[in-house]
Chains A and B, each alone.
Chain A
Amino acid sequence: MSAPIQLRPDETFILNVGPQHPATHGVLRVKMEMDGEYIVKSETVLGYIHRMHEKMGENRTYAQYLPNLSRLDYLGALGYTHGHVLAIERAAGIEVPERAEYIRAITVELNRVASHLFWFGAFVMDLGGFSPLMYAIQDREHILDMLEAVTGARLTYCYYRFGGLYNDVDDDFIEAARRFIPRMRKSLKKYAALVTGNIIFQKRLEGIAPVSAEMCRKYGATGPVARGSGINFDVRKNEPYSVYPEFDFDIPVYHECDSMARYKVRMDEMEQSLRIIEQGLEKLPAGPIMAEKKPKNIKLPVGDFYQAVETARGSFGIRIVSDGDKNAYRLKLRSPTYSNMHLFDEACEGMLIMDALAFMGSLDLVIPEMDR
């Protein structure tokens, strides 16, 4: 135990970042071979909180599996449940009332803003600035309160049902959402002044951790990570689903490929989500929130079904192979952070550890979603 540490000048050492480390925001372990402060090689080790969500999907009926999806990504859970219900509805041929789809889009976008806000705070905290996290959490609190009022949960929602929603939104929700939009826009301006314009912040992000479009394609990175590298891909535009074609919104794309580009994509996405919410509240039709013709026990026809949705972290895909039974024969989840994370090992080679951990922050990792 107490043998003296012998270091040769050419020797590298292994640094275990995690499974318990403040920068990984969860139980992720990155084994880094270090040469002083420089990373020579890095290896991501996953599986510390694997909960077999895919296997559970094969053992449970489709309806019983609903709450599982929101346990993947606790920050942007609605996007994942949205993907699941869309997949089942398309496979079973259930017609969803328009009002329900509008409410789904509004709540998903609210959830996306909440998720990006939390990421923003945590990312600046990774860089050593603590206060923006508190401001972001305060703004996020409004969203969580709104969603709590309609869904009954603050993080792990089980709001969408096959064919509609569990609960209709009330006037209070619509009023709160209307009030929230200008307040959030004001906050975004404040964040731009406080954080984006900060010289230390810019120095730490600009030109740091370049991720080429090539590398994004190689590892299957999607979402803000890919859009920060100049890949104009967003499932909401490229493979439209739900009522997204009805909305007028832009996909922010940056070509700088650095950490700053990924930061800017997310900050711009919040504004775009606000636009969608605004239009959704404007156009929200009256009507039922639940499909009238819906089988009690859903059984999918024999076949192979896939549905992709754009969540806060990228493109989330759910593939269901059905043998006609009331539960899936095989269920595969394609979670965006899992692919985004695997960039890290290649991209961080030769980087300083502090830049690498800032880069890890810019990937917006949610560990339970990776280790599902």
Chain B
Amino acid sequence: MSLTLLNVIVAVVIAIAFAAANAAYLVWAERRGAARIQRRPGPNINGPFGLLQPPLDGIKLMTKQLMIPGGADKILFMVAPVLAMAPAIMSFVTIPFSQGIAAHNMEIGVLMIFAFASMGAMATLFAGWGSRNKYAVMASVRAVSQNVSYEIPMLITAITVVMATGSMDLKTISLAQAGGFWHWNIFPSLHSPLMPISFIIFFICSLAETNRAPFDLGEAESELVAGFHTEYGSMGFGLFFMGEYANIVVGASLTTILFLGGWDCPFGIFPGVWWFLLKIYILIATFIWIRWTFPRTTIYGLLNLSWKILIPISLFNLLLTAGLLKVF
């Protein structure tokens, strides 16, 4: 009994540590990457290659006072940052990093991650509404409508993969793709010939779900000052920031598991956690690259993309896969 409890505690601590370390060092990686793209050095003063920047930033944020604006809804204001960070960490619990490395394998892993991902929208809404700031309210309304409209194509695409592999268990989905890159879901198979398109849809949706540029309408800094976290300082802001990066890691992990074979090696040698990490960091690097290249879309352009293009295509793909599964 106590051993199980210990196991759970260790797993949770590792999940939190992984999420926090990733969040902290992805900020550094993003700043260095952006600097490289923009031909400037970026953070390079503190420690070798500026590697001490994230802990120092953390200390700075933690020592600042958390100001609650007058007229704000105190409870919502305090709850929102926690709600932004906690679901992201919880999602890590079910992600299998390799055959043996997973905090807790669940048969409904896909469902659980999507359930937690939806809670992120709630954090945004609470933050915007609780701050009593017009910019924050506008931004959170935008972010919520964006999250709702992008969850639909994302879920439909995930269902397509689940149907093709016949399982909602992330580990089973990964194992089904084992044995070289031609087995991966990203490549068209007999049952689902439109898989590459599904991958692109899923990737776009995970960009939109994590409120990343070019879909960062929730924190459009040139219009809405800082969006839903305008009124946040100190660690309240820090948690939003870390939550964003943790969500990116979750999104990249999910994309890797559903489409890129999880921990499978493209050539069938040494499958293991390193391949998984390599794949998610390549995806994250792509996220960063996209963010520093494209301008922001408009809100109507964003919603049109989802409702008029992504949802019809993913629905068609779902029906096609369902039909082919029935036939063959």
Question: Once the chains bind, are B294 and A352 in contact (CB under 8 Å)?
Answer: no
Known: A138-B39, A198-B294, A201-B295. A128 touches B301 (CB 8 A): no
Question: Once the chains bind, are B297 and A203 in contact (CB under 8 Å)?
Answer: yes
Question: How far is A128 from B297 in the complex, measured between Cα atoms in Å?
Answer: 8
Q: Interface range on chain B: under 10, 10 to 19, 20 to 34, or 35 or more? A: 20 to 34
Q: Which of B117-125, B215-223, B264-272 contacts A (4 or more CB under 8 A)?
A: B215-223
- B142 nearest in chain A by CB position: A37
Known: A1-B71, A354-B223. A203 touches B298 (CB 8 A): yes
B11 adjacent to chain A (CB < 8 Å): no
B194 adjacent to chain A (CB < 8 Å): no
**Binary per-residue interface labels of chain A (1-29) against chain B in the complex, 1 for a CB within 8 Å, 0 otherwise:** 11101000000010100000111000000
Question: How far is A354 from B139 in the complex, measured between Cα atoms in Å?
Answer: 11
- Tell me which of B135, B223, B296 has the highest count of chain A C-beta atoms within 10 A of its own C-beta: B223
Question: Once the chains bind, are A354 and B299 in contact (CB under 8 Å)?
Answer: yes
Q: Which of A51-59, A129-137, A160-168, A211-219 contacts B (4 or more CB under 8 A)?
A: A129-137
Question: Once the chains bind, are B299 and A129 in contact (CB under 8 Å)?
Answer: no
Known: A22-B221, A126-B222, A353-B223. A131 touches B298 (CB 8 A): no
| Contact partners of A127 in chain B: CB under 8 A | 222, 295-296
| Contact partners of B275 in chain A: CB under 8 A | none
Question: How far is A2 from B74 in the complex, measured between Cα atoms in Å?
Answer: 10
- B216 nearest in chain A by CB position: A128
B27 to chain A: closest CB distance in Å? Answer: 15
Complex interface residues of chain B between 229 and 264 (CB less than 8 A to chain A): none
B225 adjacent to chain A (CB < 8 Å): yes
Question: Once the chains bind, are A129 and B223 in contact (CB under 8 Å)?
Answer: no
| Contact partners of A130 in chain B: CB under 8 A | 34, 38, 292
A125 adjacent to chain B (CB < 8 Å): yes
Question: Once the chains bind, are B301 and A2 in contact (CB under 8 Å)?
Answer: no
Complex interface residues of chain A between 27 and 74 (CB less than 8 A to chain B): 34, 36-37
Question: Once the chains bind, are A128 and B299 in contact (CB under 8 Å)?
Answer: no
Number of interchain pairs (Cβ within 8 Å): 85
| Contact partners of A201 in chain B: CB under 8 A | 295
Question: Once the chains bind, are A125 and B294 in contact (CB under 8 Å)?
Answer: no
Question: How far is A352 from B39 in the complex, measured between Cα atoms in Å?
Answer: 34
**Size of chain A's interface in residues, with CB distance under 8 A?**
35
| Contact partners of A94 in chain B: CB under 8 A | none
B246 to chain A: closest CB distance in Å? Answer: 23
Question: How far is A15 from B139 in the complex, measured between Cα atoms in Å?
Answer: 13
B87 adjacent to chain A (CB < 8 Å): no
Question: How far is A195 from B299 in the complex, measured between Cα atoms in Å?
Answer: 20
- B214 nearest in chain A by CB position: A200
Give me 8 other A-B pairs in contact (C-beta within 8 A), A127-B296, A131-B292, A135-B39 excluded. A3-B71, A127-B222, A128-B213, A128-B296, A134-B39, A194-B293, A200-B301, A352-B299
A residues neighboring B (CB under 8 Å): 1-3, 5, 13, 15, 21-23, 34, 36-37, 124-131, 134-135, 138, 194-195, 198, 200-201, 203-204, 352-355, 357
Q: Can you sample 22 A-B contacts with CB below 8 Å? A: A2-B70, A5-B132, A22-B225, A34-B134, A126-B222, A127-B296, A128-B294, A128-B295, A130-B292, A134-B38, A135-B38, A198-B294, A200-B294, A201-B295, A203-B297, A204-B295, A204-B296, A204-B301, A352-B300, A354-B220, A354-B296, A357-B223
